[in-house]
Amino acid sequence: MSFTQAEHLFAGVHELGLNDLFRAFFRARPRHLIYGTPVFVPATTASVTRISSLAFPGIPGGIQFAIVFSIPEVDINPDNSGGAAAIIPGPGEFTVATTATIFFLCGTQRQIHEQIGLSTPTILANNVKGGGAFAKQSF
């Protein structure tokens, strides 16, 4: 074989295959979707990932929060969202969409179980001891 010849390899993947791969990966490893500070996640497990709190002046222990992502979905050109996507992929482009929900611990630790809501993963509700008040923000 000559060193002046070039070899090329082309591969293609359908977006449904990528979305199936993402669903399988993140269902088997949900810790890559759920992150929390020590109040929400005492230790990293197969279900959640512990991150450090944000240091902030005047707040002992820092700002306590949790972030929960939905399983990402890929859309490859042409657009299959029916025009509902915020950014339509152009030729040779793709988009990845996910939802991020952020929980902040506010004030004292009471009434957390009432404020979490049904959309929160059970792991967050079970990891906070003694209740607490917090704010929830979805993007």
Assess contact for 63 and 56: CB atoms under 8 A.
yes
pLDDT, the chain, mean: 75
Instruction: Please write the tens of the pLDDT for every residue from 39-84.
Output: 888 889 888 999 999 998 888 888 889 999 999 988 887 767 676 7
- In the block, which residue shows the tokens 């399983």? 71
Q: Which tops the pLDDT comparison, 55 or 113?
A: 55
- pLDDT for the residue numbered 49: 92
DSSP classification of residue 33: T
Against a cut of 0.75, is the pTM above it?
Answer: no
- pLDDT for the residue numbered 95: 84
Structural domain spans, the chain:
15-138
Question: Is residue 116 pLDDT above 80, yes or no?
Answer: no
Closest CA to 38 of 54, 24, 14: 54
Band of pLDDT at residue 128, cut at 50, 70 and 90: very low
Which tokens belong to 20?
């199936």
- Which residues are paired to 100 by β-bridges? 69
- pLDDT for the residue numbered 139: 42
